[in-house]
Each structure stands twice: as C-alpha cells, then as structure tokens.
C-alpha cells in the first residue's frame, strides 16, 4: 500500500511527463517538416504560388 502522497506525486509526475512529451513531439515534428521544406527549396522545388510572387515562399 502506497502512502497518499505517493499517489499524488505519481499523478503529477505522469501528467508532467505526458504534457512535456507531447510538447517536445510537436516541436520536433515542426522542426523536421521545416527542414524538409528547406531542403526541397534548396533543390529548386517551389510551390506554384511562391513562383508567381517575388516574396519568400512560406
């Protein structure tokens, strides 16, 4: 039998791990997609809408 405090800390621990893990996954996913976009751009592939304009493609 765990003490009551152990249940509380286990709850907050799991909540922190899940929330931080989710944030890190979203950030890592975003960075990976941006890197792919930059690589494609560097190899000269452009979106049609970006080709039509003079501005930087996003």
Partner 1 sequence: MSENSLAIRKFSDLANPTRFLALADRVLPWFAALTALFFVVGLWLSFTTEGDYQQGETVRIMYVHVPAAWLSMMCYSVMALAALGTLVWRHPLADVSSRAAAPIGACFTFLALVTGSLWGKPMWGAWWVWDARLTSVFVLFLMYLGLMALNRAMDDPARSSRVSAVLVLVGFVNIPIIKFSVEWWNTLHQPASVLRLDGPTIDPEFLRPLVVMAIAFTLLFFTLHIAAMRNEIWRRRVTSLRRLAARSAGREA
Interaction site with partner 1 (CB under 8 A):
2, 4-5, 7-8, 10-12, 14-15, 18-19, 22-23, 25-27, 29-30, 33-34, 36-37, 40, 43, 45-47, 49, 53, 55, 58
Of 31, 34, 58, give the one whose Cα is nearest residue 47. 58
Query: Least Å distance between CB 30 and partner 1?
Result: 5
Instruction: Indicate if the alpha-carbon torsion angle 39, 40, 42, 46 is positive or negative.
Output: negative
The C-alpha atoms of residue 30 and residue 28 are separated, in whole angstroms, by 5
Q: What is the nearest approach in angstroms of partner 1 to the Cβ of residue 7? A: 5
């Amino acid at each position: 039998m765990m003490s009551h405090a152990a249940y509380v800390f286990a709850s907050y621990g799991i909540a922190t791990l899940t929330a931080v893990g989710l944030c890190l996954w979203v950030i890592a996913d975003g960075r990976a997609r941006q890197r792919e976009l930059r690589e494609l751009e560097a190899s000269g592939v452009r979106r049609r809408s970006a080709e039509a304009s003079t501005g930087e493609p996003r």
